[in-house]
A and B are shown apart, each in its own frame.
Chain A
Amino acid sequence: MPTLIEPGRTSRNIDPCVLVIFGATGDLTARKLAPAIYNLGKDGSLPPNFALLGFARREKSHEQFRQEMHAAVQQFSRTKPIDEPFWNHFQNQIFYHQSEFDDDAGYEKLAQQLRELDNQFATRGNRIFYLSVQPKFFPIIVSKLKQHGLLSDPKSPSWSRVIIEKPFGRDAASAATLQAQLSKDLDESQTYRIDHYLGKETVQNVLVFRFANSIFESLWNYKHIDHVQITMAEDIGIGSRGNFFEEEGILRDIVQNHIMQLLTLVAMEPPVNLSADAIRDEKVKVLQSVRPLSNYVRGQYGAGFVNGTAVPGYRQEPNVSPTSPIETYFAARLFVDNWRWAGVPFYLRCGKRLPKRATEIAITFKDAPGVLFQQRDKHNPPNVLVLRIQPNEGIALRINCKTPGPSSPIQPVKMDFRYGSYFGQSPPEAYERLIWDCMLGDNTLFARNDEVAQSWQIFTPVLEKWAAEVPKAFPNYEAGTWGPEEAEKLITQDGRAWRLL
């Protein structure tokens, strides 16, 4: 059917809208959301008819909120210094609304304020509600929005979309309960479960890399790949997030969402097209194929040195119990039981207070037949393809090469592509892309209900087992090292080793 949209266009028109941030005085708003919205505006990516409304419990004026947003942008924006002429104009589109999250009168006033903003900015009743609040408030807020007529029907001309921050549930049962509560008031098409990893350029490039380059995709299977390692390492501790981390642990905070998103992108089959559901269908199939976990390790850091500086152990961090059983490290061996990945182990690891910050996917290929070019009975190192998610975003391929000269020893070398070197400027922050996609109504980069549910199915037995067994050896790794000894055994028992990043 002919349409008015030209095929292949990359810039898309965005409907006018109001973005309402619940939890607008929180850390996430200051660090990520405010800078993202500012940069979108500065780059001309926000609709001309746009307003931002902060919703929080603290009393403050519009002007105070604008000043706080200004300070946050100044401190955390990827582009500095702040563009004052732009800001002076943009701040007139920023407003604040004080209310408790369960206060009906507050929602009545919110509805009134949104109507006024619609009149002032011609935002046509289109709303994004960004729930940057504790998970216990998700169903309350959504229910109140519905009750006060703030969620439009999915079929009506004006639209309402709700962005829900992680964590979506604490296990399979709680995620199912939360989903049941939300779906009473909210259609799946209106639900945007954010996983900011999916907003990263390097993560989005995994699909492009795989499916736009035939040389790699033809090798992307059990016949050629020995194993895959996915690492998400942080050199920092938990900082001021002690309370949060004591509730969550690293498995809920990182593994169940971010790492599993990376896994699905690496392991999925080509989608039938690039629509959100086609891609997410394939991702769900990967999760459905994951064999129940039997080989995994948890760890907690003790005091040590990171980059030459003495750092405390997890149990000495603020707001952490001195006998805390919470894990700050997780490693696992996982199998995807389908045709493509039969027998190929995926080794996952993530941790706090590791020697350096690095997130990457490393594909290790099988050894070349060893009949030629061996030196003192040693195999040459295997080819490794590394997709670096952060930092030093890029792709590297290790190959073996002859050293110049007559004696010709073989030396591994790296072909290295770096985003920064090729494309210059720093890429947009993940939150910029995700907020922009939500404004467009494109939920490809958001997790679908069945993705989240399936991922919880994989990890809930682990969480249940851990809940029943207090870890006796915690802390079991020193800050500044690559994790506990058990994690080493997990991989060395297979005749492999963790990559030294």
Chain B
Amino acid sequence: MSTQLVAPSAIEGELVRIWEGLEKENKLRASLFTLVVFTKYSARTDYFRHIVQKVVEKFPCRVLFISEDTHSKQPFLKTAVSVLNGPCEQIDIGAAGTDIEKVPSLVLAHLLPDLPITLLWAEDPSKSHPLFERLSSLAHRVIFDSECTDKLSKFAKAVLALHQQGKDVADLNWARTEGWRDLVASLFSSAPVLKEVHIEYNDRPTEFFSHLKIQSLYLEAWFQSRLGKMKCRIDSDCWEKLGPGTIISVKLHDKTGLVYDCSRIRDRYHSVCIQIASPEKCLLPYEFMLGQTASGQSLVQEICRRGTSCHYVDMLQKLC
């Protein structure tokens, strides 16, 4: 459905008008939550629009999509409304310069009462921004994308600081490694003593991703926060159709000499082949399903959750 530019004061009225028109087609508005997205206008803005589309395909919600134009020489505030998939609706807020100060008043006026509010803060939280505190204070849950940071340790400190204020936090890159963490947990019935971990990730750059090593660094820090210090090596490969930065394989060496070699299968990316072997013996390989890794799925799953993962917090502390 097309996007209608409207004056800020006319947003609610315009949405009512659109929905009344759609009632004749038996389309009704409904929402499970409000998703507030903040991003600075760049090539990644389209990426976030794309993953928001994945969310609305799965859950009815109201999206407040805020994009800041840092290149504009003139301050401006533009608002638009549109109806998305099924019962969802989106309010677009574009702002620049001093008009960015007006944005919180718009957000406050259009939150849905009694339903969770999730903020996807697509910028680096370690860099000061006039909207960050005001928007994060409204949200029940703040989701970050560590892809936006150049300094992971500063990012980790900023996220931890927010968590310590009592806010639920989550991270898209952390969510992207969930399948691998599940896989590793399934290998051992008790905490193993690992000698070495070897992680390989997909080094296929795109316009949306440039810090491709982060998921591997997260997994490494997770190993160390759970199992103590060990030797780690991170390498890369380039797989054409696999998402950039995605982990391709994990090889674990334990103190008894067993090697757990877990590698994605080239023509079935969601499946990992697990081979457990030692110089003396070799078990039959088997497969593990990592689940959906399609773009946007990690955001979908993080929105549904509540609370903050204690493993994530421990991992961030390791990165600080």
- Chain A residues packing against B (C-beta within 8 Å): 235, 304-310, 355-356, 375-378, 381, 384, 386, 396, 398, 403, 407, 409-414, 480-482, 499-501
Stretch at the interface among B112-120, B148-156, B249-257: B112-120
B306 near A398: Cβ-Cβ < 8 Å:
no
Residues of A within 8 A of B108 (CB): 355-356, 480-482, 500
- Chain B residues packing against A (C-beta within 8 Å): 8-9, 11, 32-33, 77, 79, 101-106, 108-109, 111, 113-117, 138, 168, 304-310
B8 near A309: Cβ-Cβ < 8 Å:
yes
Given A378-B307, A409-B306, A411-B32, A307-B8 contact (CB < 8 Å): yes
A308 near B77: Cβ-Cβ < 8 Å:
yes
Write the chain B residue with the least CB distance to A482: B108
What is the bound-complex CA distance between A305 and B75, given in angstroms? 15
What is the bound-complex CA distance between A412 and B203, given in angstroms? 40
Instruction: Give the residue of A304, A308, A375, A377 whose beta carbon is less than 8 angstroms from that of B8.
Output: A308
What is the bound-complex CA distance between A290 and B307, given in angstroms? 38
B105 near A305: Cβ-Cβ < 8 Å:
yes
Taking the nearest CB of chain B, how far is it from the CB of A158, in angstroms?
48
Residues of A within 8 A of B102 (CB): 305, 308-310
Residues of B within 8 A of A499 (CB): 113-114
Instruction: Give the residue of B79, B101, B106, B304 whose beta carbon is less than 8 angstroms from that of A403.
Output: B304
B138 near A500: Cβ-Cβ < 8 Å:
yes
What is the bound-complex CA distance between A384 and B33, given in angstroms? 16
B307 near A386: Cβ-Cβ < 8 Å:
no
What is the bound-complex CA distance between A501 and B308, given in angstroms? 25
Residues of A within 8 A of B306 (CB): 375-376, 378, 409-410
Residues of B within 8 A of A307 (CB): 8-9, 11, 105-106, 109
B114 near A398: Cβ-Cβ < 8 Å:
yes
Residue among B105, B106, B108, B308 facing the most chain A CB atoms (10 A cut-off): B105
> What are 15 inter-chain pairs, A to B, with CB distance below 8 A?
A305-B105, A306-B105, A307-B8, A307-B9, A307-B105, A310-B102, A355-B109, A376-B308, A378-B306, A409-B304, A409-B306, A412-B115, A480-B105, A499-B113, A500-B111
Residues of A within 8 A of B77 (CB): 308
Given contacts A376-B309, A482-B108, 17 further A-B contacts (CB under 8 A): A307-B11, A307-B106, A307-B109, A308-B77, A308-B79, A308-B103, A309-B8, A309-B102, A355-B105, A376-B308, A386-B114, A396-B114, A409-B304, A411-B116, A412-B114, A481-B105, A500-B113
Write the chain B residue with the least CB distance to A481: B108
What is the bound-complex CA distance between A52 and B111, given in angstroms? 45
Residues of A within 8 A of B308 (CB): 376
What is the bound-complex CA distance between A413 and B310, given in angstroms? 26
What is the bound-complex CA distance between A482 and B134, given in angstroms? 12
Taking the nearest CB of chain A, how far is it from the CB of B100, in angstroms?
11
Residues of B within 8 A of A378 (CB): 168, 306-307
Residues of A within 8 A of B109 (CB): 235, 306-307, 355-356
Write the chain B residue with the least CB distance to A304: B105
Write the chain B residue with the least CB distance to A388: B113
B114 near A414: Cβ-Cβ < 8 Å:
yes
Given A375-B306, A409-B306, A308-B113 contact (CB < 8 Å): no
Residues of A within 8 A of B33 (CB): 411
A308 near B304: Cβ-Cβ < 8 Å:
no
Residues of B within 8 A of A500 (CB): 108, 111, 113, 117, 138
Given A308-B79, A308-B105, A414-B114, A375-B307 contact (CB < 8 Å): yes
What are the 3 closest A-B residue pairs judged by CB atoms, nearest first?
A376-B307, A308-B8, A355-B108
Residues of A within 8 A of B307 (CB): 375-378
Taking the nearest CB of chain B, how far is it from the CB of A404, in angstroms?
10
What is the bound-complex CA distance between A376 and B309, given in angstroms? 7
Residues of A within 8 A of B116 (CB): 381, 411-412
Taking the nearest CB of chain B, how far is it from the CB of A365, in angstroms?
13
What is the bound-complex CA distance between A403 and B109, given in angstroms? 28
Residues of B within 8 A of A308 (CB): 8-9, 77, 79, 102-103, 105-106
Residues of B within 8 A of A309 (CB): 8-9, 102, 105
What is the bound-complex CA distance between A252 and B13, given in angstroms? 32
What is the bound-complex CA distance between A375 and B113, given in angstroms? 22
